[in-house]
Amino acid sequence: MDSKNIEFFKEAFGVEPTYKIVTPSRVNIIGEHSDYFDNFVLSAAIENLNMKAYVKPREDDRIRILSLNLKDNEKPFFEFSTKDDRYKVQWVQYVQGAIAMYAEEYKRRSLKGFDMLIDSSIPVGGGLSSSSALTMTTLASLGVANGFTNGSTDYAPEQGVTIINTKGDDAESQDLLKKLFMMGCWAEYWYGTRGGFNDHLAITAGKKLHATLSDNREKSYQYSPIPEEITFVVCNTGVMHNQLFSEYDNRKKSAFSAINKIEQHHSEVQNARDVTSEMLEKYKDELSELEYKRLRHPITERERVFAFMEALKDKNFTKAGELLNQTHYSLRDDYEVTCDELNIMQELAIGIEGCYGARMVGGGFGGCVIALVDQEKKSDFVSKIVDSYNSHPNILPLNIGSQAWEAVSGDGIKINFIG
């Protein structure tokens, strides 16, 4: 595949790429719609659904990108300058948001550009952070072209591979890692969505065979091993989840208006993280029914994250699966971010032998379901879920052909020197 892509690169840009940047996708295992409430999220980088970018740094400010995944009407080739104003093409904005944040962080007026060919296997709109992967790939490319620390080129290796996450445990490397995922998070604000930093963290700091637990208030994280007896499978509904136009902001508004009301009684309350179930019940009458439900989700979800980690540690997979199901029901009934297809997929998944539990993943309103599955039953599970979903009478022909993949947990972004 590499040699074919390198040929495409030469044809498109007339030179050879010097780097191959591999950026994983991410899946939230549990702790959904939690990051912007300062809560905890357990997620993993997925190494087998990734974005490969072949990159050649340039000496001028031009950026030329060719994507092998976009159709002709989606502008698969785009050329611009690192100084240009915002374009109306959505995917280009993800790149521009990263450029704007990099320029701000490093206080650079002029940035060197790069030529890039993208070949991605991350389903777009699947809730697996395909857009954050593009943002983080751009940041890594900018680092290769312009340097991350005082203009040096330490992240542009002249041989071998640099896995950003494992480059070093020293304070400087850790600081850079944090700077990177925070730039990714601010890029989201630049292009108009309002997520937290968790997706960018999972993609950058991911560790093979581990899940990452992020503390979204402290902006810190720790690793937790994934037991070898189980694995995760992501099942795509085929319904596109669109981050920019979703109801995401409305859900946040109702929950935050409930938080503000509780804060009137408890000045220590800054976010949903500080609200206990007891407080929620005590002030229930002051909240509208909607506000109550919207705030109940992050409170119960916080409890589930820790119960889930405990269950994995004890290898109590039945309990862990049940907690995933409860998350799904909370997202369906309290936070109301599922859709019919997600509910159908979840129900079908938990009916298949070897599946301990399942829930929708990501922002919602489409995208994927994640299922906790017995290692030994995973192949059977994948074929059964695909067959039963695609032949379900309520699934529209448009969404038939949906796929499922094992989510193999892997390391964060890798920068490979290729010549």
Q: Point out which span in 95-103, 166-174, 195-203, 299-307 binds ligand GLA (CB under 6 A).
A: 195-203
Nearer CB in complex with ligand GLA: 20/200: 200
Q: Does 126 bind ligand GLA (CB under 6 A)?
A: no
Binds ligand GLA by CB under 6 A, chosen from 125, 298, 362, 410: 362
Instruction: Please pick, from the candidates 143, 238, 298, 363, the single residue that binds ligand GLA as defined by CB under 6 A.
Output: 363
119 binds ligand GLA (CB under 6 A): no
- Residue 196 in contact with ligand GLA, rule: CB under 6 A: yes
Neighbours of 400 (CB within 10 A): 12
Instruction: Confirm or reject binding of residue 199 to ligand GLA (CB under 6 A).
Output: yes
Could you give the CA distance from residue 232 to residue 374 in angstroms, rounded to a whole number? 9
212 lines the binding site for ligand GLA (CB under 6 A): no
Rounded least distance, CB 27 to ligand GLA, Å:
10
How far apart are CB 199 and ligand GLA at their closest, in Å? 5
Of 31-39, 82-90, 98-106, 317-325, which part binds ligand GLA (CB under 6 A)?
A: 31-39
Position 195 contacts ligand GLA (CB under 6 A):
yes
184 counts as binding ligand GLA under rule CB under 6 A: no
Helix, strand and coil in the chain, % to nearest 5? 45, 20, 35
Q: Beta-strand (E) ranges in 143-243? A: 161-163, 210-215, 220-225, 230-236
Any idea which residues carry the catalytic annotation?
199
Is residue 35 close enough to count as binding ligand GLA by CB under 6 A?
yes
Q: What sections of 110-154 are H helices per DSSP?
A: 130-146
Q: Residue 209 phi/psi, 5° resolution? A: 60, 15
Give yes or no for residue 198 binding ligand GLA (CB under 6 A): yes
Q: How far is the CB of 204 from ligand GLA (least distance, A)?
A: 14
Q: Which residues pair with 355 in a beta bridge?
A: 373
Distance between CA atoms of residues 160 and 138, nearest Å? 20
64, β-bridge pairs: 79, 115
Q: What is the largest CA-CA distance in the chain?
A: 67
Judged by DSSP in three states, 183 sits in: helix
Of 28, 231, 254, 330, which one interacts with ligand GLA (CB under 6 A)?
28
CB 343, CB 332: distance < 8 Å = yes
Of 195 and 321, which CB lies nearer to ligand GLA in the complex structure?
Answer: 195
**Burial state string for 302-312 with b = 16 or more CB within 10 A and e = fewer than 16:** bebbebbbebb
For residue 50, which of 34, 27, 66, 29 has the smallest C-alpha distance? Answer: 27
Q: Which stretch binds ligand GLA (CB under 6 A): 118-126, 191-199, 349-357, 389-397?
A: 191-199
Which parts of this chain interact with ligand GLA (CB under 6 A)? 28, 32-33, 35-36, 195-196, 198-199, 362-363
